[in-house]
Structure 1
Amino acid sequence: MFGFSIFMNQPLSNEKKSYIEKMKTIGFTGIFTSLHIPEDDATTYYSRLIELGKEAKKNNLNLMVDISGDALSKAGFSIDRLDELKHIGVTGLRMDYHISNDIIAKCSHHMTVGLNASTITQQDIDELRHFNANFSQLEAWHNYYPRPETGLDKTWYVEKNQWLKEGGFTIQGFVPGDDDLRGPLYAGLPTLEEHRYLHPLANALSLLGSYTDLVYIGDGGLSEVTQSQFKEFLQNDTLTLHVDTIDEKFSSLFLGQHHNRQDEARDVIRSANARFKQIPDIPPKKILPRSKGSVTLDNHEYLRYMGELQITKTNLPKDGKVNVVAHVIEKDIPLIDHIKAGMSYELRKDDDNE
């Protein structure tokens, strides 16, 4: 479901090897790399791809390599020697411009082939069928867009993916990382422009809800905090939200694990666990406007609802019966939209602001 990128502009350091191992442990299943980035020295690709392939095999990870035109031959490999690539750990080639559908069809009988999802036409599909391509090994991979304002429109993306799904393709998209951003612009590597500066996990969940099967981190890294959030989601089906605490007195009532109620509310996430705790008297305090991401506890003015815990999904006015006790940090607010009915979530104090 999820993969990450390792670029070959530098030798594979021990730090990067540890990162690969950790991402595998978290639950990521594949690595993406490229052989045709203009800023890189292509003469270094041969040894570095061998080393990256070794790490991919060691961690049982797929390795998709982006090529176009003569990129393979410049790096010292050949499209006529796919067994050599498979031997070093490459499991797939994403083939972009200047590679014919005849060659793509032949390669599809030896390994996974990623096509440029944005440019696939009905004529391409017809030609691939004519050349007897193995469609079970063809995938549609979208681009990432380093330059701000050039990422795809979401409506167009969804419509394109619906069409690709009808053709039987597995579909992939990229989301930006939040560490080790790719140069020279360092502005993230998203497929969708609206994802450029948002939380990687929220972006990934957004793509999964948009006819996308595989989501890869476009940039070279995820911060340790974001890695932990991916781990909780992949291993425990839990979304972790970090909060700035406003009222420490009642932190034991809101910090920790919760479940959204099965009857999903429009405006708020309602903790199914909160009112089953032993609730002390909660007097009115911190009666504030409830901007999106506000964590609230109903006070005793709400009578039998006292102790109900909510997270606002939209901006709501202040209410004398509702105390604002914390607020989800700005970076994590996009995750709120992905807490669906019955889903587990955890409120955790933001260590950066302690």
Structure 2
Amino acid sequence: MHRLGISIYPNNSSVEEIQDYIRLAAKYGFERIFTCLISASDKDIELVLEEFKAILKVANENSMEVIADIDPSVFNKLKASIFDLKVFKDMGLSGIRLDMGFSGYEESVMTYNEYGLKIELNISNGTRYVDNILSYKANLNNLYGCHNFYPHIYTGLSYDNFISSSKQFKDLGIRTAAFVNSPSAEYGPWPVSEGLCTLEMHRELPIEVQAKHLFATGVIDDVIIANAFASEEELKALSNVNRDMLEFSVELIDGIRDLDKKIVLEEFHFNRGDSSEYMARSTQSRVKYKGESFPPYNVVYIKRGNILIDTDLYTRYAGELQLALKDMKNTGKTNVVGKIVDEEIFLLDYIKPWSKFSFKLKE
């Protein structure tokens, strides 16, 4: 099951603001929270614990899983040990993320903690770190993986590095997470904040497109907003993202026929197994609406991302919906009835044989 999450930073806002943000995110179905004990460790430790307990009480009341980023210095400051993680449980945490790991043995021991706390590992480094931990017979049930985020522009992960490092965890059946950037949010855990995301290519994209992409890769289970505070509009937009299949945001042409509109927006679409490099073909509509009339009325040049419906001039193909994967000439027998919004065109690369997909009118 795919989940959505937010991030909170007690160093940068009041306890009350954060509690309100948690309640708002919970209202829209968010289930995870990332927080950072590393940046908070400069404060008096008793004050840190007091603030976190007040915040996490609200998180737990709203059934939110909370994982805090730590490093060995936080461990020492809180007088925790690999054999005793009680201080993190008492704070109300669901797990800890090891920004800087240990040797492998220590992580394996922690996965057997008596409190069931999740031990989350840094995915982004792309080393064989997780294999080393597993060589010490770690408890896979308590292992998570989570990417870094990057506040400095142009320092985010390349796509290839992101995929290869994520697959190391995903192939082992370990739950994975990555971060998206909220354009409206003001800060993260560090002073520099030029957007906050895992993948560099996401930095300027709308937040829901970032999430669609992460889910479409098939290597990420949970999507977390890295910076705070995301707007209610953004939380709502993310909550409406289809996490199980690609749902393209589309614009339909003026004057589209009612039946064509119904086919685009209401019918179930999947690409044929014998797929073409030029188009994704959703053929069930031509079967369901056989005998209906599909006259030509917008037989213009076809561009990548166009939504097509074959006309009666194609006889047995009439009523078939297609999604253009490449630019191509129109034979004069196919209506162009709409298009995917520009910022989602790149998501066409994730339409494979038998892929399911749907369309939603751009809001």
The question of a shared fold, defined as TM-score above 0.5 by the shorter chain, is answered with yes
What residue number does 2:226 align with? 218
Answer whether contact 1:174 1:189 (CA < 8 A) is retained. no
Post-superposition CA distance 1:39-62 (Å, at most 9, x none): x98467434422332233223332
> Among 271, 295, 307, which residue is 1:282 paired with?
295
Answer whether contact 1:139 1:169 (CA < 8 A) is retained. no
Give the residue type in structure 1 aligned to 2:3.
F
What residue number does 1:172 align with? 176
Answer whether contact 1:152 1:191 (CA < 8 A) is retained. yes
Answer whether contact 1:299 1:321 (CA < 8 A) is retained. yes
Instruction: Please give the TM-score of this superposition, normalised by the length of structure 2.
Output: 0.75
Q: Distance in 2 between matches of 1:196 and 1:169?
A: 28
What residue number does 1:30 align with? 32
Do structure 1's residue 89 and structure 2's residue 102 form an aligned pair?
A: no
> Among 311, 321, 324, which residue is 2:336 paired with?
324
Q: Give the C-alpha shift of residue 115 in structure 1.
A: 2.6
Backbone CA RMSD of aligned residues: 3.6
Change (3 A) 1:66 1:249: same
Change (3 A) 1:309 1:124: closer
Q: Distance in 2 between matches of 1:336 and 1:225?
A: 24
Do structure 1's residue 58 and structure 2's residue 69 form an aligned pair?
A: no
Q: Distance in 1 between matches of 2:5 and 2:251?
A: 30
Paired-residue identity, %: 24
Answer whether contact 1:114 1:140 (CA < 8 A) is retained. yes
Q: Distance in 2 between matches of 1:298 and 1:327?
A: 15
Q: Distance in 1 between matches of 2:129 and 2:335?
A: 60
Change (3 A) 1:338 1:225: farther
Answer whether contact 1:173 1:207 (CA < 8 A) is retained. no
Change (3 A) 1:123 1:173: closer
What residue number does 2:327 align with? 315
> Among 266, 271, 277, which residue is 2:277 paired with?
266
Runs of 5+ consecutive residues of structure 1 not aligned to the other structure: none
Change (3 A) 1:268 1:41: farther
Q: What aligned pairs does 1:1-354 form with structure 2 within 5 A after superposition?
A: 1-8=2-9, 9-11=12-14, 12-13=16-17, 15-24=20-29, 28-37=30-39, 42=43, 45-71=48-74, 77-80=78-81, 82-97=85-100, 104-110=107-113, 111-119=117-125, 134=139, 136-163=141-168, 168=172, 170=174, 172-181=176-185, 183=187, 187-198=194-205, 199-208=209-218, 210=219, 212-220=220-228, 221=230, 223-224=234-235, 226-230=237-241, 233-234=242-243, 237-254=244-261, 255-258=264-267, 259-263=269-273, 264-275=275-286, 276-277=288-289, 279-285=292-298, 287-351=299-363
Q: Give the C-alpha shift of residue 90 in structure 1.
A: 0.6
Answer whether contact 1:181 1:187 (CA < 8 A) is retained. no
Post-superposition CA distance 1:50-98 (Å, at most 9, x none): 2332233223332111112434677xx4425632421342111112238
Q: Give the C-alpha shift of residue 288 in structure 1.
A: 2.9
Post-superposition CA distance 1:119-151 (Å, at most 9, x none): 475588658866x75454333432112222212
Give the residue type in structure 2 aligned to 1:218.
A
Instruction: Please give the TM-score of this superposition, normalised by the length of structure 1.
Output: 0.77
- Secondary structure of the structure 1 residue equivalent to 2:240: helix
Runs of 5+ consecutive residues of structure 2 not aligned to the other structure: none
Give the residue type in structure 2 aligned to 1:94.
R
Q: Distance in 2 between matches of 1:257 and 1:336?
A: 20
Give the residue type in structure 2 aligned to 1:61.
M
Answer whether contact 2:38 2:74 (CA < 8 A) is retained. yes
Post-superposition CA distance 1:243-300 (Å, at most 9, x none): 2222323144234223124434432232334322373342342x33322221122233
Answer whether contact 2:293 2:312 (CA < 8 A) is retained. no
Q: Distance in 1 between matches of 2:294 and 2:132?
A: 70
Change (3 A) 1:187 1:293: farther
Q: Distance in 1 between matches of 2:101 and 2:355?
A: 46
Change (3 A) 1:115 1:239: closer
Q: Distance in 2 between matches of 1:350 and 1:37?
A: 39
- Secondary structure of the structure 2 residue equivalent to 1:223: helix
Give the residue type in structure 1 aligned to 2:121.
L
Q: Distance in 2 between matches of 1:228 and 1:157?
A: 24
Give the residue type in structure 2 aligned to 1:270.
R
Q: Distance in 1 between matches of 2:245 and 2:141?
A: 32
Give the residue type in structure 2 aligned to 1:320.
G
Answer whether contact 1:271 1:308 (CA < 8 A) is retained. yes
Change (3 A) 1:143 1:288: same
